[in-house]
């Protein structure tokens, strides 16, 4: 059961997220609730306003942790700074780009953090919406555009909306998981929103290999997709093995210093994590639990 304290925490996130949308109606639609319910919770009414399922859904959309003491602070790692700079440039200039790098360096965290503080930017986990229909409806939903009804209406409404608002940005995480039909639909949406919308793909080496192989096999659309995303793969981590190890450990240290409990052995956390930020999180949460 969602407690009153948790509801208030979710409401704080809702209020913080509101400036990213042009109207209450668009914000309500992005959260999956009606405008009347939105008005009620906006005014602080929590009793019987939403079901526990709705509260959980909103918390998930806004990345609100419902567990006490589990808030994760943003650390200004090289990955965080690099991706944030790229996203800002892409959004301001309506440019598109592809970031391909190793897992576990903070790509997803940075992207989610960015959309929480930038208007008209949305984050899409492509591993959860692999087909073109799922993908387009999800993007529409995140922007507060109606995602129900006939697919072609959703597509056309979304493209129209993206051409109408100020510098929209769509971040496509795990883009390598998309089916071919979804990739081709991204090309079509890029064409329909050229110079109006920024698109930013992120993935690991599998995304790069898929695009390369598809171009080599002359599969329809992939040469055009790569061209529209800049004909280039961005990367943060060094190629040299020793330099990469130092880079990852440095990042782990930065994150641990910001998030570890006072007095924690940072060097030990970094050593056990081997530079992986998910392992840093695990080690710090283990420390927090042992301390109370």
Q: What pLDDT, in 10s, does the model give residues 66-76?
A: 876 567 889 99
* Position 95 confidence tier, pLDDT thresholds 50, 70, 90: very high
What distance in Å separates the CA atoms of residue 268 and residue 115, rounded to the nearest whole number?
A: 33
Q: Could you tell me if 223 and 246 lie in one domain? A: no
pLDDT digits (tens, 9 = 90+) for 213-224: 999 999 999 999
The domain boundary residue, chosen from 196, 213, 234: 234
The per-residue pLDDT for 45 is 83
Across residues 139-166, what is the average pLDDT? 97
* Position 65 confidence tier, pLDDT thresholds 50, 70, 90: confident
The domain boundary residue, chosen from 194, 217, 234: 234
The per-residue pLDDT for 72 is 84
Asked if the model's pLDDT at residue 268 lies above 60, the reply is yes
Segment among 15-29, 111-125, 159-173, 277-291 with least mean pLDDT? 277-291
The per-residue pLDDT for 192 is 98
How many domains does the chain contain in total? 3
**3-state DSSP assignment of residue 198:** strand
Q: Could you tell me if 222 and 245 lie in one domain? A: no
Q: Could you tell me if 132 and 178 lie in one domain? A: yes
Q: Could you tell me if 194 and 86 lie in one domain? A: yes
The rounded mean pLDDT for the chain is 93
Report the interhelical angle of 277-290 vs 266-273 (nearest 10°). 130
Structural domain containing residue 209:
78-234
Q: Could you tell me if 149 and 101 lie in one domain? A: yes
Q: Give 21's contacts (C-beta < 8 A, 6+ positions apart).
A: 27, 30, 119, 144
Higher pLDDT, 90 or 290: 90
| Structure tokens that stand for 105 in this block | 């360096």
What distance in Å separates the CA atoms of residue 22 and residue 165, rounded to the nearest whole number?
A: 9
Residues in the chain: 292
Asked if the model's pLDDT at residue 98 lies above 60, the reply is yes
Q: Could you tell me if 110 and 174 lie in one domain? A: yes
Q: Could you tell me if 247 and 226 lie in one domain? A: no
Q: Could you tell me if 181 and 263 lie in one domain? A: no
The per-residue pLDDT for 131 is 98
Across residues 89-103, what is the average pLDDT? 97
């Amino acid at each position: 059961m969602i407690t009153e304290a948790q509801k208030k925490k979710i409401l704080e996130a809702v209020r913080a997220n509101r400036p990213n949308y042009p109207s209450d109606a668009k914000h309500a639609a992005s959260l999956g609730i009606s405008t009347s319910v939105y008005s009620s919770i906006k005014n602080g009414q929590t009793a019987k306003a939403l079901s526990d399922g709705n509260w959980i859904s909103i918390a998930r959309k806004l990345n609100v942790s419902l567990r006490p003491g589990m808030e994760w602070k943003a650390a200004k790692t090289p990955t965080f700074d690099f991706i944030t700079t790229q996203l800002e440039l892409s959004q301001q200039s309506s440019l598109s780009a592809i970031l391909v790098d190793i897992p576990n360096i903070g790509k997803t965290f940075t992207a989610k953090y960015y959309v929480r503080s930038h208007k008209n930017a949305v984050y899409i986990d492509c591993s959860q919406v692999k087909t073109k229909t799922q993908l387009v409806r999800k993007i529409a939903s995140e922007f507060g555009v109606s995602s129900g009804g006939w697919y072609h209406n959703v597509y056309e409404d979304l493209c129209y909306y993206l051409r109408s608002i100020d510098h929209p940005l769509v971040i496509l995480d795990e883009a390598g998981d998309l089916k071919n039909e979804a990739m081709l639909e991204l090309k079509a949406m890029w064409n329909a929103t050229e110079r109006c919308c920024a698109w930013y793909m992120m993935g690991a080496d599998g995304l790069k290999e898929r695009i390369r192989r598809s171009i080599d096999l002359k599969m329809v659309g992939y040469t055009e997709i790569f061209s529209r995303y800049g004909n280039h793969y961005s990367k943060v981590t060094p190629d040299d093995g020793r330099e990469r190890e130092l880079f990852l450990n440095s990042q782990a240290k930065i994150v641990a210093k910001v998030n570890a409990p006072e007095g924690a052995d940072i060097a030990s956390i970094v050593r056990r994590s081997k530079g992986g930020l998910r392992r840093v999180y695990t080690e710090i949460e283990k420390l927090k639990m042992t301390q109370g």
